[in-house]
Amino acid sequence: MSKRKIGIIGAGYIGSLHATVLARDERVEVIAVHDAISDRAEKLARTIGATVYMSAGELIEVSDAVYIATPNTEHTELALAGIRAGKHIFCEKPLATSLDDARLILEAASQRESVFQVGFNRRFAPVYRLLKEMLTETPPHSAHVKMNRGELLNPAWVGDPRLTGGFLYETTIHMFDLLRFLFGDIICLDVAGSMHEYTEMDDFSCLLRFASGMHATLASSADASWMFPYERIEVFCHHATIATREAERITASHAVDGRYMTQTMQQLSKEEKWGYWQEDRAFVDAIIADRPAAVTVDDGFKAVELVDACYRAARTNERIYCK
Ligand SMILES: NC(=O)c1ccc[n+]([C@@H]2O[C@H](COP(=O)([O-])OP(=O)(O)OC[C@H]3O[C@@H](n4cnc5c(N)ncnc54)[C@H](O)[C@@H]3O)[C@@H](O)[C@H]2O)c1
């Protein structure tokens, strides 16, 4: 079978990471790169032997599947163009930066047979896969969660809400998706948000309730310094605690005598530890097997819904109920 042709739009950090991972998958060939800054496209294209296209439209035309790896507010138009051209799409998170845009993509993608995957890589990270597996044997009662960033300075656009949609769309959306993946649907949120270092709300404390009856706290700060670990999930079960430390390590205590076990993922490469390698394989698997993506456009939409609800709760100081 001939190799599937992949085009990458956005030759920055994550576009280059996907291109490098895909270059090792013999079922595909990254043939095309486009970036608003042509030097960046040329640099990436040189390293993987691809051709630079000066417009996104031309790249979409020559590709079977398209990766969208541009800043957040640039996703909608590109995703819609790719869907309408009948191409398979891998869209980096967030799917979009407003409910209206997310709905447009959801509706357009739902009318097509092609694969649409959203870049929630943490669902594939071994540490979170293992946590999910442990939770099937030890049902969770509650959780205490954090997801921080050290700053919103690098790359420069992450501090510009006109390009990110806001800190929650840029960073915390990963955790909203992961919490759905681990614990099921969130039914309501109480949120306090405040503004300190940037021109937007940059610190949040949330109380989340789930359809299962479980509840969780989520803290997310954009100016926390890069003190490791930036993200951590502690789950409390029947006389048990399971805690993750970044994507590095998981520790579980299932006894009341203080004994615990730790499993580390430190030996894995960054791409595998964070699930990038697995998510790219899963995207190609779905294309070849002609089946839905492992992380669907609906998952992308629901994460946008949660971020939107979180901002509304923080702005109004009211409890927001999710549909
Ligand atoms: N899943 C993850 O873990 C993860 C990690 C990092 C970034 N991301 C997401 O990936 C996207 C890109 O982030 P990044 O860190 O790679 O940013 P980046 O700044 O490193 O790269 C973005 C690239 O897009 C180019 N660009 C901007 N507008 C464009 C347009 N309209 N058309 C074509 N090219 C355009 C820029 O010139 C730049 O080279 C963002 O949506 C971000 O949220 C996801």
Q: Ligand 1 centroid to 18 CA: how many Å?
A: 11
Q: What is the tens place of the pLDDT at every residue in 78-118?
A: 999 999 999 999 999 999 999 999 999 999 999 999 999 99
Q: What is the pTM of this model?
A: 0.97
What number of other Cβ atoms are within 10 A of residue 242's Cβ?
A: 22
For residue 256, pLDDT over 90 is answered with no
Q: Ligand 1 centroid to 193 CA: how many Å?
A: 26
Q: How far apart are CA 238 and CA 45, in angstroms?
A: 53
Ligand 1 near 177 CB (within 6 A): no
Q: Ligand 1 centroid to 137 CA: how many Å?
A: 38
For residue 323, pLDDT over 80 is answered with no
Average pLDDT across the chain, whole number: 97
User: Which residue in this structure is represented by tokens 């509650």?
Assistant: 142
For residue 230, pLDDT over 90 is answered with yes
Classify the C-alpha dihedral 56-270-160-123 as positive or negative: positive
Of 319, 16, 63, 64, the closest CA to residue 187 belongs to 319
Ligand 1 atom index nearest CA of 34: 33
Q: Are 205 and 191 in contact (CB under 8 A)?
A: yes
Question: What residue ranges define each of the domains in the chain, with the CATH number in brackets?
Answer: 4-122+276-296 (3.40.50.720), 123-274+304-321 (3.30.360.10)
Q: How far apart are CA 192 and CA 293, in angstroms?
A: 34
Q: Summarize the confidence of residues 280-303 as an average pLDDT.
A: 98
Q: What is the tens place of the pLDDT at every residue in 44-58?
A: 999 999 999 999 999
Ligand 1 near 33 CB (within 6 A): no
- Residue closest via CA to ligand 1's atom 3 equals 121
For residue 255, pLDDT over 90 is answered with no
Ligand 1 near 91 CB (within 6 A): no
Proportion of the chain above pLDDT 90, given as a percent: 98
Ligand 1 near 180 CB (within 6 A): no
Ligand 1 atom index nearest CA of 37: 37
Q: Ligand 1 centroid to 291 CA: how many Å?
A: 27
Ligand 1 near 308 CB (within 6 A): no
The pick from 43, 92, 175 for probing ligand 1's pocket by mutation, whose C-beta has the most ligand atoms within 8 angstroms, reads 92
Q: Ligand 1 centroid to 43 CA: how many Å?
A: 15
Q: Ligand 1 centroid to 1 CA: how many Å?
A: 32
> φ and ψ at 60, to 5 degrees?
-60, -40
